[in-house]
Structure 1
Amino acid sequence: MSYRDVVSRRVLTWALVAVGARMPVAMAPLALVFLVRERPGGYSLGAALAAAYVIGEITGAPVLGMRLDPRRARPHLAAGLLAGAAGFAGLGAFPGAPAAILMAFAFLAGAGPAAAPGGLRTLLTSLVPAHAAAQALSAESVLTFGVWAVSPATVTGLALGADPRLPPLLAAALMASSAAGLWSLPAGWAADGPDGPAERGAREGAGASKPRLLARAWPVYVTGAASLSLLALAELVLPALLEQRGIGVGWAGPLLTVMAVASAVGAFLYGLRSWPGLLRTRSAALMTGMSAAVAVVALIPGTPGIAVALAVAGLFQSGAMLTRNLSLREVLPPEVLAAGYSVMYAAVGAGYAATGSLAGALLPHTAPSTAILAGVVLTLLLTAVGWWGERRAGRSAPGAGGPLPLGAAGAEGAPVGGGRDPEGGL
């Protein structure tokens, strides 16, 4: 397994477009806080704006993702990115506007481009040979984690070193450039192709509505939500945990950067070789390992130990996210795959919000370490539910359970969401 088939001029162009679309997403929460922190009640308003942004993402992703036309996706994606650019531009241009107007801008900035991650991911896999799809998804994860690693420093440097209006204005410019860059890429992706598992599943699911096909893949969404719920714990509770340990809160940024860099390394390594076992079993094992690492973060006293635990959590996190994307690719017909990625985007956002809300509700009444452990328990529960749902949907088949190439179809079981479950039975 190698990345040789992923390297091309078109994929490089796609990467530039993807950075323009995704860096604003990574910048948004911190940029919104810095934008209004000097106003009376600024931190509370910043949290409300971040919530409005996330609600926009969760609302827009499934609604807009389901409207994508596989063969003519470019106008839909460009319109969404331009809407997001308008939302960010409004925030940067009118930081002193009434809270309700700022929340409307934040909602638009989140909702407008919410279908872009799913659409761009599907477009990427159409730019590479079918056998290199797993490596393409790994490369995408490396790019995403790299963006998340540099975004906090970019926002902080611009907001504190120059003007707090600059981060949202930069986000607007990046999204607008991403929309323009779409015209350097194919207008869409084919909804048909070789007679692979997804294509056979498309025929087997013929006649089923798009919402029904998407709903049948609910176990994958549940596990996806679990994968980002732990990230919410790391980002939102880490500063309070450091204070509890007597460590400077300023270490939160570098520690989270360590986790993001480790995630990028993990995504790269995951795409280099084949891995044994069923996708759902692999996912559950990775999620369990990540949960254990985050639990260690809650229990260990020193900064070096916390850094090592977060790095291990990042390594597991990237693999868990990749297995979810690969599972979704196998269980959904190609014509609804972009919509499936968008629903996944909404699901992981909901997982992030749910775990963050749980931690926020617990922090006034318990120690940060206890709040993290409670979030870990919630994550493991979601992981178990998702694994059970995937196992229940699949059927055992002869030959299942042997080593599989990364993302490849092995023994096929019962249809899940219109496609076939390549993992078979456990």
Structure 2
Amino acid sequence: MGDSGPGGVPYRRLFGLPGVAAQGVLGFLAQLTQQVAPVGMVLVVQKATGSLALAGVTAAAFSVGAGMGRPVQGRIMDRRGPRVVLAVTALIHVAALLGLIGCALAGWPWWPMLVLAWVSGAGLPPISVSMRIEWGRRMAGEGRTAAYSLVYLVQELAMLVGPLVFGLLIAVASTSLALGVVAAAAGAGTLAFSRALRVGSAPPGREPGRVFADRRMFVLLAVVLLLGGVIGTLEVGLPALAVARDVPAATGLLVAALSLGGIAGAAAYGARSWGSAVQVRLVGLMLALGVALAPLVLIGALPLFWAALFAGGLVLNPALTTGSLLVDEYAPAAQGEAFGWVSTAIGMGGAAGAAGAGVVAERFGPSAPFLSAAALALLGALLATSLLRRAPA
């Protein structure tokens, strides 16, 4: 149970802190390439080489690099603070993207493009991790629910708006120029965001702790991995369903339903002060996600499908937020690295879920991935029940 208070008191407290509003805006700008980069790579590489397979492998290299880079970035952030990591990664990320564009335009062999795609992913600036550390340290107790909800809300907005801006730029310029402009804007946003941080370094005299000192962190990452699997399954299942029903243009509306639900869910979840245990909330949210997605297997009308997706989005981002709250409890002395592992788990789960959804859709029909997504969420709820036990001595 919770109490929102008038006007969402937790958010009023959060936005009352100096610099938070500016950090949110700059963080939004800095994350524009998170969705645009892999899509832009596919378009640029396919146009330059004529190979969709190579384009897909290039995007995969970006995702692998991002998954490998996050824990390393987080470990350095625990020791040196986020500012230096953000500045260095901004330069690496943008330079690698621009280098990939140059290689494609110059007709270079495939391998430099793959290397640069990996480097670009490994250098993807840890904006959301930095936001969690910055706002989490400045908001005590239940205020962190609002802080972490705002992190996912800003991220979701960037992932929703970024591709739209990219599409508009393509309409008035070339794909390569559009990707370069978005990359440069995100790099500038990252540098400005790093300068706007108030928590510029790790607390003095503190050595980073071990991420897995509390073994429950392994369980939490497994739950987050399954949550990432839900996201990846939906990302493939939605366009597959739209194509199977001969309305491929509906893909954007279906994806938007999930994103809008996520934005609304993050905003509502952070506006309340919750009295229940965080572990109980995680179990309940994963269970609610599975229940919300299960009817998608049977729904035929797209408007009802859209509404069910929106309902799933309402609990998806709160589940991610709750996972972040548990990082505070299980790895308080190594938050940067722990949040990095959370990001890696989401990415790995998403990749596995996407691959599995393609196979399931091909063998059992376009509705089957949604059953898989519901099953992954319910399995996550079951696994999360082990977190309800008391902490080990």
For the aligned pair, the TM-score class normalised by the smaller chain equals 0.7 to 0.9
Aligned match of 2:355: 357
Q: Deviations over 1:223-254 (max 9, x none)?
A: 2122222221222121111222x241111112
- 1:81 maps to amino acid: A
Counterpart residue number, 1:337: 335
Which residue identity does 2:13 align to in structure 1? D
Partner of 2:372: 374
Deviation at 1:131, TM superposition (A): 5.3
Q: Is the 8 A contact 1:57 1:114 kept in 2?
A: no
Partner amino acid, structure 2, of 1:355:
G
Alignment of 1:5-404 (within 5 A): 5-7=13-15, 8-39=17-48, 41-69=50-78, 72-96=81-105, 97-113=108-124, 115-128=126-139, 132-181=143-192, 182-186=194-198, 188-191=200-203, 210-213=210-213, 216-244=216-244, 246-333=245-332, 335-388=333-386, 390-391=387-388, 394-395=389-390
The 10-residue stretch of structure 1 (216-225 or 65-74) with the greater mean CA deviation from structure 2: 65-74
Could you state the TM-score of these two structures normalised by the residue count of structure 2? 0.88
Give ranges in structure 2 of 5+ residues lacking alignment. none
1:293-350 Cα shifts (integer Å, max 9, x gaps): 22322321111011101100110101111111111112222x3111111110001111
Q: Cα distance 1:278–1:29, how it changes in 2: closer, same or farther (>3 A)?
A: same
Give the Å deviation of 1:277.
3.1
CA contact (8 A) 1:77 1:113 kept: no
Distance 1:374 1:380, change over 3 A: same
Displacement after TM superposition at 1:9 (Å): 4.2
Q: Distance in 1 between matches of 2:178 and 2:216?
A: 39
Cα 1:53–1:343 change in 2 (3 A) is same
Higher helix share: 2
Letter in 2 for 1:327: L
Percent of aligned pairs sharing the same letter: 24
Amino acid corresponding to residue 183 of structure 1 in structure 2: R
The one-letter amino acid paired with 2:45 is V
Please, what is the CA RMSD of the aligned residues?
A: 2.6
Structure 1 counterpart of 2:61, one-letter code: A
Change beyond 3 A, Cα 1:40–1:131: closer
More moved, 231-240 vs 160-169: 160-169
Measured after TM superposition, the shift of residue 128 of structure 1 is 4.2
Cα distance between partner residues in 1 of 2:360 and 2:225: 20
Aligned residues of 2:262 and 2:310 also touching (Cα < 8 A)? yes
Q: Deviations over 1:112-159 (max 9, x none)?
A: 135443233202223445553221222222212211221232222223
Contact 2:81 2:202 in 1 (8 A): no
Q: Secondary structure at the match of 1:113?
A: coil
Q: Cα gap change, 1:220/1:22 in structure 2, threshold over 3 Å: closer, same or farther?
A: same
* Structure 1 residues 376 and 77: alpha-carbon distance in aligned structure 2, compared to 1, 3 A threshold: same
Q: Is there any run of 5+ residues in structure 1 with no aligned partner, and where?
A: 194-201, 396-412, 416-426
Q: How far off its partner does 1:83 sit?
A: 0.9
